[in-house]
Each structure stands twice: as structure tokens, then as C-alpha cells.
Chains A and B, each alone.
Chain A
Amino acid sequence: MTSLLHEPHAKERRLIFANISKPGYKPDIETYLAHGGYAEAKKAFTMKPEEIVQEVKASNLRGRGGAAFPTGAKWGFIRHDDGKPHYLCVNGDESEPGTFKDRFILHQDPHQLIEGIIITCFALNIRLAYIYVRCEFTYAKEILERALKEASERGFLGKNIFGSGFDLEVYVHEGAGAYICGEETSLLESLEGKRPYPRIKPPYFPAVLGLYMSPTIVNNVETICHVKHILRLGAAEYAAMGTSGDGGTRTFCVSGDVVRPGFYELPVGAVTMGELIFDLCGGLRPGRTLKAIIPGGSSSKILRAGEVYKIKSKAADGSMIEKEVKLLDLVLDAASVAAAGSMVGSAAVIVMDDSRNMVWALNNLNQFYAHESCGQCTPCREGTLWMSKLSTRMLSGKGEASDPTMLHTIADNIAGRTICAFGEAASWPTQSFIDKFPEEFEAML
């Protein structure tokens, strides 16, 4: 793989990518053990399961897949002694355009994930776990299965783990090229061998009714890896790295028009957008200026260069003050990016310079959503295709004066009218591109 990990910047703090970045680091168990691997899994078995859940709650870990749901709260829905089987499904379907962190974890440090799985399963009384990986990661299943076998041979998986009497089986389940399977209830349907249509809510959480109608935790690959570091550092130290309510580190995946695209594992809220793009990623290519940033995966609303946001924060005396914050001064935590009208999502930052045509970029995304709509809900199935056709028409120079408005209206009629969040994900790019760059859409007519 092309190296996307650069010399660590002073502001970086690598937990998840600490070992992956070392020269000669291999995905086998000997390498992992030599780097202190499985120490936290062993430690977990000396703790009470509820203590581990408490630690994760106190760590303020939020899901790293995109929705940023507090992991401890999700885990808290599982009742240890409800007499039902519990399941863990690790979401490694990484498909949100712009995101590529899980690919590296799965391929280069599978044991880190397995250790996280062991701790999670012990904490939640789970005896059967699946790692759902997309099949386009053509070697991931092989690599993971080899790692699972190595862990089993050492007694870290299977029957009577670490002599504790606790049994755990973990299997790898491959997807088949559908973005929708990253939606957690779609993932469960896929795992059940059905057409992966997202489930109707409520129940809102698979932790209530999940795989095989039993309580199930679905967590992203990176999220599960963080669990081990929470036990290693302790919840207090882990939480202190981040902002209030959003602990630890996040891996930003930066792609597009920057000099050094790649991963940057940063304490939550440690850098601003400007620092990420200009200090860590080396800025834009020579002679180019910044035009726009998609801050959290292709579904997040686009931010335009030069924008100023009004963001409320707490002053020293506890009163709320409103500050004007420029795009490049925007702190990269969930609350700040949300206050700027977008979301930190999967922390996949796509940077666009002044050479980019926004209608062209939107059309590319519209084609993605039209292709990936599962077709279950009419507004999304029909609407994404209409949006794609309209932006294609505008791009070809055959657009009509009413097209930008019509495009926006279609998006408005998808968002909020579908079973899953794909409807919003497909609408937000169109809504935000037209709102933020109206002159480019008018210029195409």
C-alpha cells in the first residue's frame, strides 16, 4: 500500500496508528505481542464486565463510523443478564466516499481489532461476533481469518479464553459491493442472508432488537480498536485528550487537492481546519487557492472557503457567548463542525481547490447516490436518479433555468422521508452545493 502515514506532526497523538506506522510492522501475532498486544484483553478478564462498560462510558468515546453516537450509551442498552444471546457486529463496510482508515487497520493491524472485540464481548456477555468487511478489500478476509486462527491457537479466542471460562467465536462476513450495508440495520439484514433493506425504526437501536432479533451491538472498526486504548490509558486520561463529551483521538482521512493526503490521528478538537490542511497536509498545490471542503465524508454538507460561522460557546463565567469563526479557524470536533452547519461524520475531509467545478463535483456524488440507493423507499429510489439526471443535464449544457431550483426541491423531498439516513446523506450534498455555490449552477445554464 502507498504510504499515507507521514512523519507524525507535533499535534498528532497516535493510538490506533501507533504501531502501523512503525517500519517493519507486520499483521502477525508475534509482531503484535512484541508491541504489548493482548495485554488489555488479559486485563479485561480481571475486571468486572460492568466496570469495563463504565470505563467506556466515562471515556466519552463516540462512534467513529460517522454518526458519533456515544459508545458507552449504546453499550448501556445491553442488559448483561437478560437471558438472551447477544451479538457483536463490527462494521468494516467502510464505503463513505473519502474514508479509508478502516482499510489500513484491517489489513495492517488485525490483532488490534481482535483484541478490541474480545474486550467488548466480555464486557457485554457476547459469545458470537461477526466482522463485516466489504469484499472490495480483497485480502481482508484472508488476513483477518489468519489472525483469528493465530489468536485461537494462543487461547485468546474459542473456548475458555485466558482460562476464564468465557467462550467467544468470531467470524468474518464479506459484503458484496453495496454502500447501504454500512447502515447498521442493513448490515444486519445482509448478515441474515436477506436483501439488505434497512429496517423500519423503531426500535431505533439494534441493541434492543438486532441480529436474529436479539440484542446486538454494531460498532465501527476504529471504535472497537479504541476500547483497548481506553483500558490501557484509563477512562480519565482518554477522555481528557478530547473535548467535553467527545473523548480520545480521531483519525482524519484527507484526500483531494492537498500536497500530502493521508491519515492524521489527532486528539479530538486538537486542530482547526486550517491547521489540518495547511500544517499537517502541506497545503494546496502550488498556485492554487482553496475553494471548498467536504468535512466528514461525501454526505456531509460542503463548506465554502471564506465562510464565517456564528458559533456559541461557554465563557469562563459560564454564560453563553457567540463568536464569529472563520472556516479555517473551525475546530475539528463534532460540536463545532455541527455548529457550522455540517458534520464531522467519518472525519473524511475532501479538499477542493479553485480548479474544481462544483456542478461537476456534485454530479459525481449524485451518480454515487443514485447507484447506491437500495430502492426500498420511493422518494430516495426515484429522487436520487432524478437528481443525477438533472445534474448530468446541467453539466452537458442542456440545463433549463428552473433546474437548480428543481434539483434543490427534489433533495428537500427526499430528506426526512425515508426509512434510513441514506435519504439525508443523498440530499445534503445537493442542498449544500446549490446553497453555497449558486453562481456556478447559474453559470451552467
Chain B
Amino acid sequence: MNDLKNTENRQPTTDNCVLTQEASGICSQSSVLPAVLLQKIEEAITHYPVSKRSAALPLLHLWQNHFGFIDESGVEWIAAKLELNPIAILEIVTFYPWFRQNAPGKTIIRVCRTLSCAMAGAYELHDAFCKATGIDPEHPHEQGMPTSPDGKFSVEFVECLASCGSAPVCLVNKDLLECVAPAEVAAIVEERR
């Protein structure tokens, strides 16, 4: 496991890396922690002067933003950092839909599925994104994020993105696209291919 091949676009340069686990080599995320990430982690912990454990979510966000997903070494590293058992971190990773344990595509497209967006065509929009990226729309949710064979795109349905007045909406990586028509999908995908 812990194959980083699919995340080559996200893999940090090793110049500033601090090797924390000599033995585990290049395949685990915690062995390639750049100084800038470590600094952000230390800063985040200071936001919780009463209980370090509260920093679990922010640390997981920082980790996933950097590596693209959270591997076993990440769970263990964060747990050790916050003086917790690894299960205390793993149970959070598996609870929240936002966190992933596998590499996603380079561009993640999240289509809002809930009522107001559905009424405005969210199902058609989701289908159009799947078709344009070559993803099986019936991909079982339990098997991780549906990703295109070339590793460039992940497309998933998410629940209400709180932008119901401009339905249908989707998040393309960090950007919210509003009132999206299926006809715009091809251009959105090609721009990021």
C-alpha cells in the first residue's frame, strides 16, 4: 500500500523534507514531511490551548491538502503528535466524508446531489461529468472516490453545498461553480485535462 504513484502531481519536492521515519523509506507519507507542513501543524496546535486533541481535524486537513489523501503512516504520525492511540484518528478519518484513504484524481469534481440542485438538474450534471471524464456513474460509493482511468479526474456526488439559490452547483477542486448547465461540462473538463 501507500503507493504514491498516482499523486505525483502533489508529491512534495524532497529538498525541504525532514525524514522522520528513516526505516519506512519513500513510500510512506510521514517519511516525506516538508518543513512548511510541519510548521503549519505546529501553528494549528497552538489554536487549541485547552486540549491538543482538538487539533485532530485541522491536522488531517493539512495532511490531506498536502498529500491528496491520508495513508496509514499519516494516521499514526498525527496520533503520535497529539498523544493519542491511532484509532482515535482513524475513527475520524473514516467518519467524515471529506477525508480519503486513497489517492484521488488531480481534479476533484463534487456535484451537489440534494433537493434544490437535483430539481435543477444535478443528476444530469453528474452524468455529464462522468461521461466527459470516463468515470462509471454507478461506481459503488464504498470503493472510494470514483476516479478516471488516467488519474486526472474524480467525480462524486456530495450532499447539500449550501448554495441552493444558484442550483445546480459543483465544487471543482476549491472553486464553486454555480448554475452549471450540462452543456458547459465539456469545457470545464477540457480546461483541466
Contacts and interface: CB of A to CB of B under 8 A. Distances in A.
Given A100-B162, A178-B97, A261-B165, 4 more contacts: A97-B164, A103-B163, A176-B57, A256-B115
Given A178-B97, A192-B51, A192-B54, A136 B162 contact: yes
B176 A138 contact: yes
B50 A364 contact: no
A175 B48 CA distance: 15
Nearest to A294: B115
Interface in B152-182: 158-167, 171, 174-176, 178-179
Given A135-B98, A176-B98, A348 B174 contact: no
A356 B116 CA distance: 12
A246 to B, nearest CB: 24
A193 B158 contact: no
Interface residues of A, number: 59
A183 interface: no
Contact of B92 (A4, A135, A191, A195): A195
Interface string B36-68: 000000000001111101111110110000000
Contacts of A263: 165
Contacts of A261: 164-167
A298 B118 CA distance: 13
A383 B115 CA distance: 20
Interface stretch (A23-31, A57-65, A316-324, A366-374): A366-374
A346 to B, nearest CB: 10
Interface in B80-108: 82, 88, 91-92, 95-99
B119 interface: yes
A137 B160 CA distance: 12
Contacts of A194: 53, 88, 92
Contact of B158 (A174, A177, A294): A177
Interface in B94-140: 95-99, 110, 113-116, 118-119
A167 interface: no
A177 B178 contact: no
A361 B115 contact: yes
Contacts of B167: 255, 261
B57 A253 contact: no
Interface string A101-134: 0110000000000000000000000001000001
A178 B95 contact: yes
B60 to A, nearest CB: 7
B109 to A, nearest CB: 13
Nearest to A367: B113
A98 B54 contact: no
Nearest to B59: A193
Contacts of B88: 193-194
Interface of B: 47-51, 53-58, 60-61, 82, 88, 91-92, 95-99, 110, 113-116, 118-119, 158-167, 171, 174-176, 178-179
Contacts of A174: 57-58, 61
B114 A97 contact: yes
Contacts of B61: 135, 174, 176
Given A2-B178, A177-B96, A97 B82 contact: no
A16 to B, nearest CB: 16
A98 B53 contact: no
Contacts of A97: 114-116, 159-160, 164
Contact of B164 (A99, A134, A136, A171): A99
Contacts of A95: 159-160, 162
A193 B114 contact: no
A225 B56 CA distance: 29
Contacts of B165: 2, 4, 100, 253-255, 261-263
A179 interface: yes
B114 A364 contact: yes
B40 to A, nearest CB: 12
B162 A298 contact: no
Contacts of A175: 57, 96, 98
A194 B85 CA distance: 12
Interface in A180-211: 190-196, 211
A367 B158 CA distance: 11
Contacts of B48: 171
A444 to B, nearest CB: 18
Given A138-B171, A256-B116, A348 B57 contact: no
Interface string A400-443: 00000000000000000000000000000000000000000000
B152 to A, nearest CB: 20
The 7 lowest CB-CB distance pairs between A and B, nearest first, are A176-B96, A177-B98, A193-B56, A255-B164, A193-B53, A176-B98, A177-B97
Contacts of B176: 1, 138
Nearest to B163: A100
